[in-house]
Amino acid sequence: MPLTVQAIIDQLCSSVPPISNTVDILMAGYPDTEVRGIAVSFMPTQQVIERAVASGANLLITHEPLSYSHRHEEKLIENDPIYAPKQKLIEDSGIAIFRYHDYCHRKQPDIIMTGLLAALDWEAHLTEMLPVAAIVELPSMTVSDVAAHVKRKLGMPFLRLTGELSAPCSRVGLLVGYRGGASTAIPLMREHDLDLLIVGEGPEWETPEYIRDAAYQGRSKALLTLGHAESEEPGMRALSVELKQQYKDVPVEFIPIQPIFQIV
């Protein structure tokens, strides 16, 4: 039986009850296409799609959308001169592109979370895996030590810090992607008595300002903002390894992206 796009989607979404109004859609291509090669990336940039096509993949699995908006607002890219060549590339190549986001995060454990933990080499320090966060307990060190570790392990040129580099820290909460907002991060920090939050991204006037007040009060509380992609790409890389083990008859390639921000 040929391996179809739909068969792979079904496998990815299995073990999770149906999610209504999900953003996990086949953004390009057809469900019954036979898959000859799989590419996995955090983001379907034009460069990533080109690389996927060049590698011979005809199914690209990404965490984020094609059209620069979480809910795939088609109007945003209608007659857009920048989106048009990307659309043409997709049509000319016939590549299928599936977004694996909600089902991925809902799976227990969430590979985006376990992928980050593994990349940080912190699996042995995990004390609690919550639906939206992981709590780790590190040997006592400073925020500066943790920042250096994170940069080295994730190959990142810089991090955004709120709080003090010299603050001691042991109890750390990890919140991937856009979970850095106050409604998730503040109760987590309070209820789990955390010293440090490591997040993807979140509104700047929320959690960072809470940390600013805490640090001003002399408390050892800090926040490291990795960037959305930096926090979730390790999980997508881990997914590509899983797929490689699962589908031995088709090549599976992981395509990394460059940091979206340069500090100038």
Q: Is the peptide bond before 109 cis (omega within 30 degrees of 0)?
A: yes
Quick one: which of 161, 192, 241, 251 contacts a second copy (CB under 8 A)?
161
Q: Please say which residue, 4 or 69, places its beta carbon nearer to a second copy.
A: 69
Stretches 20-28, 33-41, 103-111, 225-233: which one binds a second copy (CB under 8 A)? 225-233
Torsional sign, CA 47, 48, 53, 59:
negative
Strands 134-142 and 126-129: antiparallel
Min dist. Cβ of residue 127 to a second copy (A): 21
- Return phi, psi of residue 185, to 5°: -75, -40
Q: Is 105 one of the binding residues for a second copy (CB under 8 A)?
A: no
105 is in an annotated binding site: no
DSSP-assigned beta bridge partners for residue 128: 135
DSSP states along 190-209? HHTT-SEEEES---TTSHHH
Q: Is 208 one of the binding residues for a second copy (CB under 8 A)?
A: yes
Structure-token pair, residue 38:
């799989």
Show the site string, 230-259: x = touches a second copy by CB under 8 A, - = not: ------------------------------
63 is in an annotated binding site: yes
Min dist. Cβ of residue 41 to a second copy (A): 12
Strands 160-162 and 222-225: antiparallel
**Integer Cα distance of 175 and 10 in angstroms:** 27
Quick one: which of 144, 145, 171, 241 contacts a second copy (CB under 8 A)?
144
Q: Is 108 one of the binding residues for a second copy (CB under 8 A)?
A: no
Of all helices (H) and strands (E), which one includes residue 100? none
Min dist. Cβ of residue 249 to a second copy (A): 32
Rg (CA), the chain: 19
Spatial CA neighbour of 185 closest among 123, 115, 133: 133
Min dist. Cβ of residue 71 to a second copy (A): 10
What type of residue is 178? Y
Q: Is 56 one of the binding residues for a second copy (CB under 8 A)?
A: no
Q: Is 162 one of the binding residues for a second copy (CB under 8 A)?
A: yes
- Which parts of this chain interact with a second copy (CB under 8 A)? 43, 45-47, 64-65, 68-70, 73, 76-77, 80-83, 85-86, 144, 147, 158-162, 165, 178, 182-183, 186-187, 190, 201, 203-210, 212-214, 216-217, 219, 221, 225, 227-229, 260-264
